Amino acid sequence: MEGDGDFVHCGSAFVKIERPQLVEKSNTTSEVWRYFGFQPGSDGRPENIETPVCKICFRVIPAKASNTSNLYAHLKSQHPHIYIEVKSKSNQAPTTSTSSGEPSKEHTTMMREMFQRKDKFDPKPREHRELTKAVTYYITKDRMPLNIVSKPGFQHLLNKFNPKYDLPSKNYFSRVALPSLYADVRKVVERELKSADCFAATVETWTCRSNEMYVTCGVQFVDSDWILKTHCLQTQYLPDEHTGQSLKCALEDVLEEWGLDTTNLVAVTTDNGPAVKHACELLSWKRLNCFSQNLQCSIQKGLDDSRIERIIQLSRQIFSQFSRSWKRKKEFSIAQGQKGLPRNSLKVDVNNKWETTLEMLERILEQQDAIRAVLAHDRKICRLVPTWQDIDVLESVISVLCPFREMTEALSSEKFIAISAINPLIKHICNDLIRDEQEELTLGFLMQMRIKRELEIRYRDPELTNFLEKVTFIDPRFGPTCVDDLENVLQQIKGELLVGKVAEEPSLFQISFDGSTLSPSNPCSWYDRDSPGPSQPKKARYGGGLAKVFGKQSGDGGTDKMVTTCVSLQEQLDRELDFYFKEPKLSLENCPLQWWKATQNCLPLLAKLAKKYLCISAINVASERAFSNSSSAFGEYRSNVKPKHMDQLVFLAENLP
């Protein structure tokens, strides 16, 4: 039938159609029938009650026996705003329409609001996709809960940036956007892993707030451009008992799923847990203890003293007094101004984190005058005022622990080659920081001796010592001068290279080196080449923290030119070793990987050995960071997240640039 022409919104387009005159359904209480009618017959009654017509887009929707399932489905797919309105009023009384068959005034208002959506982006154009990608990146990179897209404040923020952008629902992000982004990033990671000749791994087990056990596995390798790559591969759910056998199966599944060959696995860095140790023994993997955890356990041994325990408990009680009383906190601020002290708040330590204990004690020592000014006037808590003996203990503990903080900061970066620095650091601690010839048994000296003894126990295994010395030898920042058993290390290197464990080379080599240095190419963008992620801040100089520990070393990393010639494998290795021995030591502020990149043409055998061993991580920082960030971020709002989604969220958060 003919009527006035209307532009109506159907799906993602506006269509001009003719408005027919429709007849209302009689004797109905369902809210959905407000938006459907029937074409009238010659007598003015519905011509066919099984073919209702939508009053919005005027499509014919089949409904046998007045069944409303198809009607609801049509509203949900074509008119979602009307569908939400119908569902919200499903338990209310139906609103009557006008006698002429036209929609009510309320319905007309809703249609007008719906027509205003023509100013929104169509979901298909490029700009809408780019904005949706940006929101997806924000959710995954910053570990935000998915329900943030339904928060009015977040929606208001996006609307201010671009009013035309129509933010998708939470279900779209969980079912479409996140899996799609995971698939894209995974392809990039798989492509990079295929180019790796060998790799090292890190493993960390952790428990989320819902008491579910997970194991996070990461890998490190040096790519063809001599850049250290770090990826968090998978977060595996452990439904069974946390044993070595269950961890073994989980780690095997991770490597199998990513197509990694265990013969290319150089070593795995783990914590000191017995289950992880047992799993590595079952898998016959070369395992290294996390150096930061070994240092943590050694320092805890050094703090095992009644005088130190007393000052730590006293510092915690002082913090508690000022954190629970706003009045004392205000008096403390006034006292800081009167004494000319920095306006810094007191700190409290965290269990099994000696760095936080050091920060707490340093803040107590810094603010001792303000603390005394506030606590001395209260008879109930004046006993907490530090005495001169307490101050002496504070100064002794701080003086012992400060050098270890510099070591930890130097090794904390994922891009820093730290595995080769373990052996020199242990020697530096045992020989330079701690001296046995001291006559007076002071508190600081006793702390140092306990730390030294514990470190020597943890690194007394001859096999581990030889392995670390071999890695130290291949790092040009340390080289042969930092190796004690040099003859044994050279025998291991020659045996490994000559039997072909590292390099499968012909019997003749072409040596050529002109002293030129290749510049590294820019790494590819992982997120979207057309829409890259946010710019990264500039990083500090390479190895600056380690230079503070050992002191700056001279060395320009220059190389002598060599003449091109053909030699056998044995002769090639002898010449490379002779050339490497004559090279000056590289500065600690320079990157050893870039040095090997510049010299790989004249030292091909040693370069492959360097690429194999310098990718090992001294600390399992990648897996540990995923544990600490994920356990806190996936708690309150994601306590019921499924293991599959947990894996995707951790993977994206760690691997997105």
Give the tens place of pLDDT for each residue, 575-613: 899 999 988 888 888 889 999 999 988 888 999 999 999
Which are the contacts of 590, defined by CB distance < 8 A and separation ≥ 6?
A: 477, 542, 543, 557
The pair of structure tokens assigned to 206 is 């952790």
Work out the mean pLDDT of the chain and round it to a whole number: 79
User: Residue 330: how many CA atoms within 13 Å on its side-chain side?
Assistant: 3
pLDDT of residue 436: 59
Specify the pLDDT at position 96. 44
Segment 232-279, tens digit of pLDDT: 998 888 887 788 898 999 999 999 999 999 999 999 999 888 899 999
Structure tokens at 11: 């799906």
Taking only the tens place, the pLDDT of each residue in 156-166 is 999 898 888 88
CB atoms within 10 A of CB 541: 9
Q: Quote the CA–CA distance of 474 and 296 in Å, as a whole number.
A: 27
pLDDT above 70 covers a percentage of the chain that reads 76
pLDDT in tens, 112-126: 555 454 455 555 578
- pLDDT for 551: 62
pLDDT of residue 527: 38
**Which pTM does this prediction carry?**
0.71
Q: Which amino acid is at 162?
A: N
Please name the residues in contact with 386: beta carbons below 8 A apart, sequence gap of 6 or more. 311, 314, 318, 364, 368, 371, 372, 394
* Residue partners of 469: CB distance under 8 A and separation at least 6: 423, 483, 484, 485, 488, 489
- In this prediction, residue 68 carries a pLDDT of 84
- 452/307 Cα distance (integer angstroms): 20
User: For residue 532, what pLDDT is reported?
Assistant: 41
pLDDT of res. 144? 86
Helix, strand, coil percent values for the chain (each to nearest 5): 50, 10, 35
Q: Is the dihedral of CA 630, 636, 637, 640 positive or negative?
A: positive
Three-state DSSP class for residue 200: strand
pLDDT at residue 381 in the model: 87
With a cut of 70, which residues of the chain have pLDDT below it? 1-20, 90-124, 209-210, 413-415, 435-440, 500-567, 621-640
Return the pLDDT at 99: 43
**Alpha-helical runs (H) found in 523-642:** 544-550, 569-582, 592-599, 604-613, 621-633
CB 646 within 8 A of CB 634: yes
Q: What is the pLDDT of residue 561?
A: 46
